[in-house]
């Protein structure tokens, strides 16, 4: 009789444990990985630690200093309402990073569970669940984003929900494909014969063998979410003023593009670009580390 202990010792867990440190070693050796991690740490420090050290309100304007270029008092200048640009960049990045990362994590969790249930159930359940995904994928995500943001009052929670609702579909299809390959492996069949519960089967025998693929997908979803909230804010459909946001500030800055107010345009644009690069560098590093290589 096959026991759960025998299944654990003969398959999934030892293989995962044996390759874990080798994978992380490859990740840190990849140059783009280090750049991406260090860059994101600095970006988070700028947005979340910076306001604790730079005691200037991002929403209280100085009407004696409107559209002023960078100076000792305002290192990145001021906008047309006298707001300190540096303070707005710090606080504005908080919403972008929170929404970007949390929406991607929610999408990863729901998409992973949905894909596993579909693959394990099989039959008509799998067909129905995948047809639902196909129908939702046929609807352009920008229409869903615009509809939900126009219908409900935008806030951080809603933005996370909206972006997660359009991001989990791809994750579910990837996970379903991975589980369909894995569930026919000997150790999975042995686990089923041993009477392993479904939840334990998912978390202990299935997830460790495809989590790398999901993590890579999630990192790119983070970049897409940050860009999406910046785009929605640029169109005026993001977080309502006076809450600062990189996309909204960049949109407002475009009104002064011909007045040489470069300090309004470059900071939000550079920060959006850097967030995209750093997250994608981390994703490239994970993909590089998880590839099958001969050391």
How does pLDDT run across 226-262, given as a tens digit for each residue? 888 888 787 777 777 777 888 888 888 888 877 788 8
What's the angle, vertex CA 273, arms to CA 257 and CA 72, rounded to 5? 60
Q: What per-residue confidence (pLDDT) applies to 2?
A: 44
Give how many domains the chain has, as a whole number: 1
Do the beta carbons of residue 99 and residue 155 sit within 8 Å? no
pLDDT band at 123 (very low <50, low <70, confident <90, very high): confident
Three-state DSSP string of the chain: CCCHHHHHHHCHHHHHHHHHHHHHHHHHHCHHHHHHHHHHHHHHHHHHHHHHHCCCCCCCCCCCCCCCCCCCCCCCCECCCCCEHHHHHHHHHHHHHHHHHHHHHHHHHHHHHHHHHHHHHCHHHHHHHHHHHHHHHHCCHHHHHHHHHHHCCCCHHHHHHHHHHHHHHHHHHHHHHHHHHHCCCHHHHHHHHCCCCHHHHHHHHHHHHHHHHHHHHHHHHHHHHHHHHHHHHHCCCCCCCCCCCHHHHHHHHHHHHHHCCHHHHHHHHHHHHHHHHHHHHHHHHHHHHHCCCCC
The mean pLDDT of 206-233, rounded to a whole number, is 84
Residues of the domain holding 36:
12-54+84-290
Q: What are the tens digits of pLDDT across the range 12-63?
A: 444 545 566 777 788 888 888 889 999 999 999 999 999 999 888 888 877 7
Do the beta carbons of residue 32 and residue 274 sit within 8 Å? no
* CATH number for position 274: 1.10.3720.10
146 to 151, 157, 158, 164, 242: CA distances (angstroms): 8, 16, 12, 14, 21
Q: What are the tens digits of pLDDT across the range 61-85?
A: 777 778 888 888 889 888 888 888 9
Question: Does 68 map to a domain?
Answer: no
pLDDT band at 8 (very low <50, low <70, confident <90, very high): very low
- Average pLDDT value over all residues in the chain: 81
Q: What per-residue confidence (pLDDT) applies to 89?
A: 92
Q: What per-residue confidence (pLDDT) applies to 19?
A: 61
Q: Is the pLDDT of residue 210 over 90?
A: no
Q: Is the pLDDT of residue 1 over 50?
A: no
Question: Does 75 map to a domain?
Answer: no
Question: Does 152 map to a domain?
Answer: yes
Q: Is the pLDDT of residue 6 over 70?
A: no
Q: What per-residue confidence (pLDDT) applies to 205?
A: 75
Question: Does 47 map to a domain?
Answer: yes
Residue owning tokens 């994970």: 286
Question: Does 265 map to a domain?
Answer: yes
pLDDT band at 152 (very low <50, low <70, confident <90, very high): confident
Q: What per-residue confidence (pLDDT) applies to 4?
A: 47
Question: Does 5 map to a domain?
Answer: no
Q: What per-residue confidence (pLDDT) applies to 65?
A: 77
Q: What per-residue confidence (pLDDT) applies to 294?
A: 41
- Between CA 104 and CA 163 the distance in angstroms is 8
Token couple for 207:
């997830």
Q: What per-residue confidence (pLDDT) applies to 5?
A: 46
Q: Is the pLDDT of residue 170 over 70?
A: yes
Q: Is the pLDDT of residue 163 over 50?
A: yes
Question: Does 61 map to a domain?
Answer: no
The mean pLDDT of 208-229, rounded to a whole number, is 84
Residue 293's Cβ-count burial label (10 Å; 0-12, 13-18, 19+) is exposed
Q: What per-residue confidence (pLDDT) applies to 238?
A: 72
The mean pLDDT of 126-134, rounded to a whole number, is 91
Q: Measured in whole angstroms, how far is the alpha carbon of residue 155 from the centre of its chain?
A: 18
Q: Cis (ω within 30 of 0) for the bond into 242?
A: yes
Q: Is the pLDDT of residue 225 over 60?
A: yes
Question: Does 136 map to a domain?
Answer: yes
């Amino acid at each position: 009789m096959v026991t759960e202990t025998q299944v654990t010792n003969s398959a999934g867990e030892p293989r995962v444990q044996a390759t874990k440190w080798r994978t992380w070693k490859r990740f840190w050796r990849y140059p783009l990985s280090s750049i991406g991690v260090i860059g994101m740490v600095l970006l988070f420090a700028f947005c979340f630690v910076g306001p604790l050290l730079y005691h200037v309100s991002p929403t209280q304007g100085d009407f004696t200093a409107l559209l002023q270029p960078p100076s000792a008092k305002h290192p990145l200048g001021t906008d047309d309402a006298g707001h300190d640009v540096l303070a707005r960049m710090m606080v504005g990045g908080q919403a972008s990073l929170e929404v970007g990362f949390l929406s991607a994590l929610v999408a990863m969790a729901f998409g992973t569970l949905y894909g596993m249930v579909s693959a394990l159930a099989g039959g008509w359940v799998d067909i129905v669940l995948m047809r639902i995904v196909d129908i939702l994928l046929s609807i352009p995500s920008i229409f869903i984003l615009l509809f939900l943001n126009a219908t409900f009052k935008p806030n951080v929670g809603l933005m996370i929900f909206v972006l997660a609702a359009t991001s989990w579909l791809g994750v579910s299809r990837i996970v379903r494909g991975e589980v369909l390959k894995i569930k026919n492996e000997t150790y999975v069949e042995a686990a089923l014969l041993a009477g392993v519960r479904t939840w334990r089967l998912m978390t202990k025998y299935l997830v460790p063998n495809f989590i790398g693929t999901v993590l890579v997908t999630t990192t790119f979803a983070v970049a897409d979410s940050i860009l999406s909230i910046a785009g929605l804010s640029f169109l005026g459909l993001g977080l309502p003023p006076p809450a600062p946001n990189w996309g909204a500030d960049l949109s407002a800055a475009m009104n002064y593009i011909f007045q040489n107010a470069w300090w309004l345009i470059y900071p939000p644009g550079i920060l959006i670009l850097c967030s995209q690069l750093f997250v994608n560098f981390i994703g490239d590093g994970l993909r590089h580390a998880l590839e099958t290589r001969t050391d």
